Amino acid sequence: MEKKLHILQIGRERWESRNEDGLIWYYIDACDDVDAQQEKLYAVLNANEDNEEEDHQEKLASFDTVIISELSTNFDFSYLQQYIEPYTILVNQELSDTFIDHFPIFKYLFVHYIDMQDITSVIATVKKDFFIGQNGTKLHVKNTVVNHVDNFNIYYNGNNYVEISEINQSDYVQLLYWNYNIGLGSDATTDLWLEYDADNQIDLRLVLHFIDSAGEVTRRTFTQIEMEHYINVNVEKFTYLAVSIEVKGQGIVKVGPLHYRKSREQYGEMLLGGQVGRDSQRKEFFYYFNPGDLQPPLNVYFSGYRTAEGFEGYWMMKNLGKPFLLISDPRLEGGRFYIGSVEYEQKIENVIQTYLDLLSFSTKQLVVSGLSMGTYGAIYYGARLEARAIVVGKPLINLGDIARNVPLHRPEAFETSLDLVNEFIDQGEDRYEKLNNKIVPYLEKAKFPEDSTIAIAYMMQDDYDSQAYFDLLNYLSEKDINIISKGLVGRHNDNSPGINQWFFAQLKRLNTSIG
């Protein structure tokens, strides 16, 4: 059963008199005095806790959306603050000129000002864009079927891309299609993003066929210019979407995954407030900032391998109470270790620096962390930025060795590592060492702040990267930093709970000492 949204409205007139259509509505009168407001909030929270319906069994930690339709300047938000999350607040645009001046606690809660003259439209926006959770996945390269036209040369590079060369077409022809359809619901917008690269003399377009329950088919096409932004898809009833690509011209085309995501429109990527970064090669990463208590340190967490696109670690980071930044990599099957073009890597570094600047923090107040695949991002960007602390569990730094270990140590497991080395296939055996050594210069030249800490939890029989811990000691042991470590018996995935427990304990300790 889909969870219902808990909506708090603050105003002079209640919009809804009953809970329906996936919403649980709470109301506080903006004209009440503080005691009455607190009494109503207490009643709201107790009603939620005591309600026997399945939707109400868990104590309400925060409201999913807060709607401020009208307000008096003496309204007291202090007792409500712990139940309000950043990016979830809709404020009547008529209040926009003075709202932050009167209520400065909202400066870093990133409110949205919207027109509230049409109440039905506001509620529809909440139901459509402020849904619980995150929803994103992809159609993989392996699911493509290439149309054998003339003398096309076809080369599949794992999950990276399929390359079609020797194209020479004066009119549009179908290049390929995906052999799985996408199911579209009427309750949401779907965002489409295609990874591709085409020669300048190639004209490529994305073709969408909408197939309804009666079998009626509607065709729409999108040009390369239109694909510079998301392709937004809406339907009025459940519909299947079949996707193909057509080309004309001369040259080579590389087609990667087709990402499709439940859209929050202008309100965020994956999570409310989430954002996407892209390089000129159409490669993406996601990031989400939470201001916490606005006090040091800034915690940056790199998500591990995840086939479902989106963020991980939200509640773990939130429980620290400090500002945090989540970063996620949606490429390949479940991530690409946060490395890519010079532009891509610089954009990730710039995002971290942007939020340090926003908080007026220095890198002496920066803690970067990650688990498994996320450890590479934490160590790589932690060294580049010379962070005060790096906390990792199950470190992976020798990306070439991880690929080498597939045949003997973990057959058919974590083949993403093979996709990574395949991008450098023209370099032969050298590509393994090139990937192993990518991180080394940054570790060697990093000048970490005084009293810096590197905390490492590792598996003693790690079957992904058995040398990661020892190599880190070698690169870091001569630096004036604190190295704390704990080894657990087992292979890479044999004791994740033990790793996670130690990992979070170190984060809590460092947040206390640095703060």
Domain boundaries, the chain: 5-129, 136-261, 265-397+439-514
Give the separation between CA 323 and CA 390, rounded to whole angstroms: 16
Q: Which two tokens stand for residue 472?
A: 């880190």
The DSSP 8-state label assigned to residue 201 in this structure reads T
* pLDDT in the model for residue 512: 96
Give the separation between CA 13 and CA 321, rounded to whole angstroms: 34
Place of tokens 């939470």: 290
Per-residue pLDDT of the chain (515 residues; tens, 9 = 90+): 568 899 999 999 999 765 567 898 989 998 888 788 788 777 777 765 544 444 444 578 899 999 999 998 888 888 888 999 999 999 999 999 999 999 999 999 999 999 999 999 999 999 999 999 999 999 999 999 999 877 889 999 999 999 999 999 999 999 999 999 999 999 899 999 999 999 999 999 999 999 999 999 999 999 999 999 999 999 999 999 999 999 999 999 999 999 999 999 999 999 999 999 999 999 999 999 999 999 999 999 999 999 999 999 999 999 999 999 999 999 999 999 999 999 999 999 999 999 999 999 999 999 999 999 999 999 999 999 999 999 999 999 999 999 999 888 888 888 889 999 887 766 777 889 999 999 999 999 999 998 999 999 999 999 999 999 999 999 998 899 999 999 999 999 999 999 999 999 999 999 999 97
Give the separation between CA 57 and CA 50, rounded to whole angstroms: 8
Give the separation between CA 404 and CA 65, rounded to whole angstroms: 48
Give the separation between CA 338 and CA 277, rounded to whole angstroms: 12
* pLDDT in the model for residue 43: 75
CB atoms within 10 A of CB 290: 22
b/e per residue 448-463 (b: at least 16 CB within 10 A): bbeebbbbbbbbeebb
CATH architecture group of domain 136-261? Sandwich (2.60)
b/e per residue 86-103 (b: at least 16 CB within 10 A): bbbbbbbeebeeebeeeb
Ramachandran region, residue 21 (left: φ > 0; alpha: ψ -120 to 50; beta: rest)? left
Give the separation between CA 332 and CA 419, rounded to whole angstroms: 8
CB atoms within 10 A of CB 156: 14
* pLDDT in the model for residue 41: 77
Residue 370, strand partner residues: 302, 392
Long-range contacts of 79-84 (CB under 8 A, 24+ apart): 79/34, 79/37, 79/38, 79/41, 80/8, 80/41, 81/105, 83/8, 83/41, 84/109
* pLDDT in the model for residue 515: 73
Helix ranges (DSSP H) in 339-398 = 342-359, 373-385
Three-state SS for 301-329 is: EECCCCCCCCCCCHHHHHCCCCCEEEEEC
Q: Which two tokens stand for residue 35?
A: 């005691």
Pick the CATH number of 265-397+439-514 from 3.40.50.1110, 3.30.420.40, 3.40.800.10, 3.40.50.1820: 3.40.50.1820
CB atoms within 10 A of CB 145: 12
* pLDDT in the model for residue 19: 57
Instruction: Say whether 265-397+439-514 and 136-261 share the same fold.
Output: no
Q: Which two tokens stand for residue 507?
A: 């984060």
* pLDDT in the model for residue 1: 56
Please provide residue 196's backbone torsions phi and psi, each rounded to the nearest 5 degrees.
-160, 165
Cα 452 → chain centroid: 28
Cis peptide before 297 (omega within 30 of 0): yes
Mapped onto helix, strand or coil, the DSSP state of residue 118 is coil
Q: How many residues are given for the chain?
A: 515
Q: Which two tokens stand for residue 176?
A: 């390929």
Place of tokens 């497991």: 413
Give the separation between CA 343 and CA 325, rounded to whole angstroms: 20
Q: What angle do CA 361, 388, 476 make, to 5 degrees?
A: 155
